[in-house]
Amino acid sequence: MIGVIIVAVTLTAVVVHFYKKAFKRPHNFPPGPPSLPLYGAYWIILAKSYNNLAAACIKLSDEYKSNILGLFLGSVPTVIVNDSKLIREVLNREEFDGRMDIIIARLRSYWKKLGIFFTDGYFWHVQRRFTLRYLRDYGFGKRDESLESTVAHEAKEMVDMALNGPRYPAEKDLVKGDLIYLPHFFAIPFINGMVHVFTRTSLPRPDYHVLWSVARGALLFQRSSNDFGGALTFTPWLKDVMPKYSGFKDLLDGNQSLLEFFKKIVKEAIETHNEAYDRHFLDAYITKMKKEIKQKKHSTYSVEQLILVCTDYMFPAASAVESVLTMLIERLLLQPELQDKIHEEIDRVVGRDRTPTLDDRRNMPFTEACIREQMRYDTLVPLGIAHRAMRDTKISNYDVPEDTMVSVNYVTLHMDKEIWGDPENFRPERFIENGQLQISKDKSLPFGAGRRLCAGETYARQSMFQVFSTFMQAFRVSTADNKPLKKPAVRIQGIITTIPNYWVRVTPRL
């Protein structure tokens, strides 16, 4: 009898403990779901929409009648902003410039806090300021004739590959007759463009297999987790217990392909470095690093940091932009009239005797609007990369304690009926008025905002226009089986939004 009483009392104490913990919240914290054992409210978010966490957060906002959610992910206090008006405010406030120190950030940077994406404070400010200053000199963040020429050349090689067939073994994996394999078919112009930014050179076509390896690794990494970093973020010990199932192995393998790629490039740059002059961005960084070492400064500059800087800036080029174009091609298959309008515009503005250039961009509003509408319609990073409150602060009337994880739900902005009217429709014309592209009408934030704005926005927008318009000038696309596409593919919601790789048929526009 005594044993039964002890068990009952123990169970009651455990239940009371977890009940109190489930509903314990910081003072004046935003409303939100209770915290369950181990993963907190993460269980509830997954139950709402396992493959679409942004949608789950919107559902919770409706349930709690608040566009600002407060909850615990594991033991981490978290605020999720599901309000299109507050998103810009939060992104532009300096106290939210922090980053979470999570396992995904560490595993990709030699288990240290390195790079640009996942660092903050003094280290981030110094490295961000230097990289943006010198990357700009080599074409990143502004229009650059040399970079534009490189992307144009690579786009022509891409078209040649589909028109005339594979020339090298690796190309046979991506081109079979009149079929091309997306998204990797689009990868080379974007990746080689970034290589040119770093080194003022690019890899020749016989070496494209190296760049495709980088693209595959980057996409593997992006698909191996989710907006919050997955279970690994809250229970990092899973990497030792179930490295494959937890996504750890794929994250590690995917990232390693980029690290090894840049390790070789940086090593060669160091071995051939001449302090008398800088040939490219890598030289500028190495010169600064050596100068600080000579002065015996406690420096933020290192070889490993340089590799991570390159890796960080390459990741979007190696995975995100070609994923945008891949989803846009799918949209053309769903709405063939879009393809007709793009072809008419290209023929009218550019013709067939030359390839499109950035000078044509202002005269091709519909083509540009299609790219912009795609980035609005399928939000690439729905909950962004999580921010961290660097001090006690407020969002609206709610308190946000220091070290709280803060995410903004871009989907609420991109699908706000008050802004777009009919956000559920893919309608590029929404950005066009009197035959001209009206950038002021584009309220979307596919690249974020504030000091954490994606530094590659200019490069991404310019290169996507070059690659997409060059491709569409050359081809008409249809499904691999020539049957009408009735519905879009189910989205893969990893760190970025992608769709399953697929074959598409290309018919030359002779």
Of 87, 31, 76, nearest to 419 (Cα)? Answer: 87
Residue 310 labeled ligand binder: no
**Helix axes of 457-474 and 187-199: crossing angle, nearest 10 degrees:** 140
List Cβ neighbours of 108 (8 Å cut-off, separation of 6 or more): 115, 118, 221, 251, 255, 259, 308, 311
Q: Is 482 helix (H, G, I), strand (E, B) or coil?
A: coil
- Cα dihedral: 258, 264, 269, 271 (round 10): 160
List Cβ neighbours of 45 (8 Å cut-off, separation of 6 or more): 33, 53, 56, 57, 60
Number of other CB atoms surrounding residue 18 within 10 Å: 14
Cα end-to-end distance, the chain, whole Å = 90
Q: Is 258 helix (H, G, I), strand (E, B) or coil?
A: helix
Q: Is 387 helix (H, G, I), strand (E, B) or coil?
A: strand
Q: Max alpha carbon distance in the chain (Å)?
A: 94
Of 456, 448, 454, nearest to 408 (Cα)? Answer: 448
Place of tokens 């660092």: 119
Alpha carbon distance 404, 335 (integer Å): 43
- Cα dihedral: 170, 333, 225, 59 (round 10): 180
Please, what sign has the CA dihedral across residues 110, 116, 118, 123? positive
Q: Which residues are annotated as a binding site?
A: 454
Q: Which residues are annotated as a binding site for heme?
A: 454
